[in-house]
Amino acid sequence: MAANEQHYTLPLPVFDKPVKLLIVVAPYYRDIADNMIAGAQATAAAAGASVDLIEVPGALEVPTAIAMAGRMADYDGFVALGCVIRGETTHYETVCNDSSRALSMLGLQGLCIGNGILTVENRPQAEVRADPADQNKGGGAAAAALHLIALSRKWAGRTKGIGFRPQGESIRIAGEPEGPSRA
């Protein structure tokens, strides 16, 4: 059973400049959302990050709100929170797949996002995962965003040059004598 497994958790990063997170939550299941918010806020506070919170109607709107904030607001990272519980129709698959895919695409575009949208079979699974004293998936999503922010800051301003060569390296074509670079 996965609940009995031991998992390694990275220590929270340390920042030398302030960090500002936006938590975007779909509070369809209010009690579950509130627990996830509490976990995310506590993790952000432990790392010294400030947090703003907005609510959207459902999990499908979370990526859209994050994309808008990424373009129009000044946040270092984002925490996506919500819960999708399997029902009797295929709507579950649509919401799970599309919200996850959209968040992944935003991340690949450079946004620092921790995905805390729960996708579960039933309410008890959601309750355990949302509880800050249990699996604390809200806190885990905030930690993921913080780690991505730390990586982004670490690599900010670095350039790789053109193509696959590190900046400053020259190309040597086989069969030609060594000499001035053809870069």
Give the separation between CA 86 and CA 97, rounded to whole angstroms.
13
What are 72's two structure tokens? 């129009």
Active site residue 91: yes
Measured CA angle at 91 (ends 83, 94), to 5 deg = 80
What are 153's two structure tokens? 């800051």
Contact 121, 84 (CB under 8 A): no
| Main-chain dihedrals φ then ψ at residue 53, nearest 5 degrees | -130, 130
- Angstrom CA distances, 76 to 106, 126, 150, stand at 14, 28, 10
Write down the catalytic residue from 46, 57, 91, 123: 91
SS (H, E, C) 69-88: HHHHCCCCEEEEEEEEECCC
Q: 10 Å Cβ neighbour count for 161?
A: 11
User: Which residues are tagged catalytic?
Assistant: 91
